Amino acid sequence: MTVSNPPEGDDGALVAAAQNGRSEAFGILVERYDRAVYTLCLRTMRDAEEARDCTQEAFFKAFRSLRTFKPGAKFSTWIFSIAYHACCDRLGRRKRRSGDELPDRADPSSGPAAVAERNDESRALHAAIAALPEKYRTAITLYHLQGRQYEEIARVLDLPIGTVKTHLFRAKELLRKRLVNQ
Partner 1 sequence: MNDDFDELDRALFALPLETPPPGMRDAILRSTIGAGAHAPAKTSPFGTWDIVGLGTALAVCVWLLLLLFWDKAFDAMLTVNAVALVHGFVEPSTLLWLAAGGAVAAWVSLGSSLVLARNRS
Nearest to residue 179, comparing CAs of 137, 136, 123? 123
Tell me the closest approach of the beta carbon of residue 140 to partner 1, in angstroms: 7
* Alpha-carbon gap, residue 126 to 39, rounded angstroms: 12
Q: What angle is formed at CA 46 by the lines to CA 37 and CA 92, rounded to 5 degrees? A: 90
Provide the minimum distance between the beta carbon of 175 and partner 1 in the complex, in angstroms, as a whole number. 6
d(C-alpha 43, C-alpha 178), whole Å = 17
We find the least distance from the C-beta atom of residue 99 to partner 1, in angstroms, to be: 29
Q: Which is nearer to partner 1, 117 or 151 (CB)?
A: 117
Note the residues at the interface with partner 1 (CB under 8 A): 1, 3, 18-19, 23-24, 26-27, 30-31, 34-36, 38-39, 42-43, 48, 51-52, 55-56, 59-60, 63-67, 109, 114, 117-118, 121-122, 125-126, 140, 143-145, 147-148, 165-166, 169, 172, 175-176, 179
Least separation in angstroms between residue 30's CB and partner 1 is 5
CA 11 from chain centre, in angstroms, equals 17
Closer of 91 and 127 to partner 1 (Cβ): 127
Q: Which is nearer to partner 1, 17 or 157 (CB)?
A: 17
CA-to-CA distance for 36 and 95, rounded, in angstroms? 25
Q: Which residues have C-beta within 8 Å of that of residue 77, sequence separation ≥ 6? A: 146, 152, 155, 156
